[in-house]
Amino acid sequence: MAAPVSNSSGCWGVPEVYKHHEQRKVCISRPKYREGRNAKAVKVYTINLESRYLMVQGVPAIGVMTELIQLCALYGAVEEYRPLDEYPAEEFTEVYLVKFQKLTSARAAKRRMDEKSFYGGVLHVCYVPEYETVEDTRLKLQDRRRYILRAVHNKAKEKEQKETAEKEPTMSSSDTATTSERIVMRHDKASDDDNTGEASNVSKHPSFPPLPLPPREYNYYGHKTQHGTVSTEDKMGTLHNAIIVTKQQPAPSSSSSQTSSDGHKGAKHRLTSKPSVVRFVPRSTNLENRKRKMDEAAGHSLDRCY
Amino acid sequence: MWRKDSAESSDRFEYLQTLVTEFQDTDSEEAKEQVLANLANFAYDPKNMDYLKELQVTDLFLDMLTEENENFVEFGMGGLCNLSMDPECRDIILQSSGISLVTNLLSSRREETVLSAITILMNLTKPSSRSEITDPAILQCMLRFSLSESPRLRNLAAVFLQDYCTEEQVAQAEQQMKGQQTAVGIPLPEDSS
């Protein structure tokens, strides 16, 4: 259950203003061909800069902490959060530390919430890896390695399958074979968004095929990030309509959720997408959710999941 | 403007190729930095790794490590940090004396560069490279880092020492460090350990 944390463990100690928290000036000199839709600063993202911990600045000091955390929870389960009173903040704003259960959630939340307006203020969201414990860092690196190796493994398998298919006599021209080899991975836009994060400086808002909007409590991570832009921005100023959470569903182990969230990456085979994050879900809507899930599972092919 | 709505991976390859070409052709330091950062960020997504390998971007990043421009170094290191978890890229880096190039940068004054260096060394570790990577000099460096004020540096160094070295190796490095200190003529207090 996500709850405000009392300042007990070392990682929740007094923060310092680190250079990587600062917004860099946006780069204005890019040639057109590599100008993204959004102006971006020149910055390289590595696993060391990303983190499950996010810092959110610019939150209007009007008592909207709950709304902020609900907004964050759209992108994935929030494990812990607290205000960072000791961090320098602009007048009439607050700063919050938010710890997500998964790095991919933090990544999505950062991308979607950064520079967005929120109750009259503008949020600045950044990773704060300095709040990690040694174990956090270790797990982060291990998860990343596992993810890469799985992607490599899947690619190798795909190549093998293609080569086997090509050997069959029913295969047509060699031209097809050549081009099909080049097309190693299908471009999964949602997964690009989720997992490249800042990795692509090009076009950050791909157009998605129209999908019926699932309810916001819906667990499918990919769906969330797709319609997240829509419902999030709709809800930003009107979060008083959001359902206040009283209960969370238990999440499966992190390795399986990792599998279901990252295993789609470009791989042809589909893993069943299960609800993989702990969610703020009020008791009263659980029945409705189950019903919707059944309906939607029948309707969707879940091809937009990350 | 290049748009990402095509599902054709050849578009992505061509785009990356254009980036590499711009990097090689342009005289503008600023443009080079932007492109380098761009490529390093693309290297974060394993989907791009095949193309980047084909375009020999690993070598491009390695070339940056001896540049004077600290941004070039930092971005190149970031790119290698992103690529080096891929086994093929790891081997390319190893074959190009990557360990010594990266180790040199442990003394960089740019924190991101140092963090990338530690991560790359971890990624480069395999049975054949382990002894080089756990060289006492490197371990001593990590020991110093583990006492740093920077939490990120401390954490990475701690993971390195705990997961990539044996306890004996770490103890030996600690001893050597103490030995160096006492050699200056300033004995350490008895209970300093």
Q: How are beta strands A93-100 and A53-60 bridged, if at all? A: antiparallel
Q: Predicted confidence band at B173 (pLDDT cuts at 50, 70, 90)?
A: very high
The verdict on a CB contact (< 8 Å) between A130 and B119 is: no
Binding-face residues of A in 187-216 toward B, CB within 8 A? 187, 189, 192, 195-203, 206-207
Q: What is the pLDDT of residue A166?
A: 79
d(CA A225, CA A232): 9
Mean pLDDT of A84-102: 93
d(CA B34, CA B71): 10
Q: What is the pLDDT of residue A35?
A: 63
Chain A's closest residue to B119, CA to CA, is A48
Q: Are A158 and A148 in contact (CB under 8 A)?
A: no
Q: Are B73 and B110 in contact (CB under 8 A)?
A: yes
Q: At what angle do helices B111-124 and B70-83 cross, to 10 degrees?
A: 30
The verdict on a CB contact (< 8 Å) between B4 and A46 is: no
The verdict on a CB contact (< 8 Å) between A45 and B15 is: no
Kindly list the residues from chain B whose CB atom is less than 8 angstroms away from the CB atom of residue A19: 111
The verdict on a CB contact (< 8 Å) between B81 and A46 is: yes
Chain B's closest residue to A29, CA to CA, is B31
Which of A108-117, A120-129, A211-220, A294-303 is predicted with the least confidence, judged by mean pLDDT?
Answer: A211-220
d(CA A128, CA A12): 11
Bridge partners, residue B10, by sequence: none
- Hey, is the C-beta of A139 within 8 angstroms of any chain B C-beta? no
Q: What is the pLDDT of residues B20-45, one digit of tens each?
A: 999 999 999 999 999 999 999 999 99
Q: Choose among B5, B23, B98, B19: nearest CA to B51.
A: B19
Cα distances from A43 to residues A186, B72, B171, in angstroms, run 27, 12, 38
The verdict on a CB contact (< 8 Å) between A187 and B112 is: no
Kindly list the residues from chain A whose CB atom is less than 8 angstroms away from the CB atom of residue B75: 44
| pLDDT at A226 > cutoff 60 | no
Kindly list the residues from chain A whose CB atom is less than 8 angstroms away from the CB atom of residue B22: 31, 34
**Rg (alpha carbons) of chain A, rounded to whole number:** 21
Kindly list the residues from chain A whose CB atom is less than 8 angstroms away from the CB atom of residue B156: 48, 137
Q: Are A169 and A82 in contact (CB under 8 A)?
A: no
Q: Predicted confidence band at A97 (pLDDT cuts at 50, 70, 90)?
A: very high
| pLDDT at A232 > cutoff 80 | no
Predicted ipTM of the assembly: 0.88
Cα first-last separation, chain B: 61
Question: H-helix or E-strand containing A98?
Answer: strand A93-100
| pLDDT at A235 > cutoff 50 | no
Q: What is the pLDDT of residues A4-38, one digit of tens each?
A: 444 444 455 555 566 677 666 676 666 666 666 55
d(CA A68, CA A59): 8
Tokens of A58: 């610019």
The verdict on a CB contact (< 8 Å) between B41 and A200 is: yes
Domain B1-133 grouped into CATH 3.40.190.10: no
3-state SS, residue B149: coil
3-state SS, residue A38: coil
Instruction: Sketch the domain layout of chain B as residue ranges.
Output: 1-133, 135-183
| pLDDT at A257 > cutoff 60 | no
d(CA B183, CA B78): 38
Q: What is the pLDDT of residue A46?
A: 95
Q: Predicted confidence band at B131 (pLDDT cuts at 50, 70, 90)?
A: very high
d(CA B103, CA B123): 13
Q: What is the pLDDT of residue B113?
A: 97
Q: Predicted confidence band at B75 (pLDDT cuts at 50, 70, 90)?
A: very high
Tell me the nearest-neighbour CA distance from A115 into chain B, angstroms.
Answer: 20
Tell me the nearest-neighbour CA distance from A17 into chain B, angstroms.
Answer: 11
CB pairs A-B closer than 8 Å? 160
Kindly list the residues from chain A whose CB atom is less than 8 angstroms away from the CB atom of residue B43: 199
d(CA A102, CA B36): 29
Q: Predicted confidence band at A88 (pLDDT cuts at 50, 70, 90)?
A: confident
Which of A55-64, A237-246, B94-103 is predicted with the least confidence, judged by mean pLDDT?
Answer: A237-246
Mean pLDDT of A260-267: 40
d(CA B2, CA B173): 52
Q: Predicted confidence band at B177 (pLDDT cuts at 50, 70, 90)?
A: confident
Number of H helices, E strands in chain A: 8, 7
Q: What is the pLDDT of residue A156?
A: 86
Exposure string of A98-120, with b = 16+ CB inside 10 Å and e = fewer, is bbbbbbbbbbbbbbbbbebebbe
Q: Which of A138, A148, A186 sits opposite B7 (nearest CB)?
A: A186
d(CA B93, CA B90): 5
Q: What is the pLDDT of residue A98?
A: 98
Q: Tell me, what DSSP letter sits at residue A280?
A: B
Highest mean pLDDT among A184-193, A199-208, A224-233, B147-156: B147-156
Provide the CB-side half-sphere exposure for B105 (13 A, CA).
Answer: 33
d(CA A90, CA A230): 28
Q: Tell me, what amino acid is at A195?
A: N
Q: What is the pTM of this model?
A: 0.66
Tokens of B104: 């040199």
Mean pLDDT of A56-80: 97
d(CA A195, CA A229): 16
Q: Predicted confidence band at A191 (pLDDT cuts at 50, 70, 90)?
A: very low
Q: Are B36 and B72 in contact (CB under 8 A)?
A: yes
Q: What is the pLDDT of residue A163?
A: 85
Q: Residue B131 class from Cβ within 10 Å (0-12 exposed, 13-18 middle, 19+ buried)?
A: exposed
Tell me the nearest-neighbour CA distance from B92 into chain A, angstroms.
Answer: 16
Q: Which is it for the CA torsion A56, A59, A63, A67, positive or negative?
A: negative
Binding-face residues of A in 112-131 toward B, CB within 8 A? 129-131
Chain A's closest residue to B38, CA to CA, is A201
Q: Which residue has the higher pLDDT, A227 or B73?
A: B73
The verdict on a CB contact (< 8 Å) between B75 and A134 is: no
Among B14, B35, B39, B44, most A C-beta atoms within 10 A, so best to mutate, is: B44
Please list, in sequence order, all residues whose beta carbon lies within 8 angstroms of the beta carbon of residue B9, skipping any fewer than 6 positions away. Answer: A182, A183, A184, A185, A186, A187, B51
Mean pLDDT of B145-168: 96
Q: Tell me, what DSSP letter sits at residue A253?
A: P
Mean pLDDT of A241-247: 39
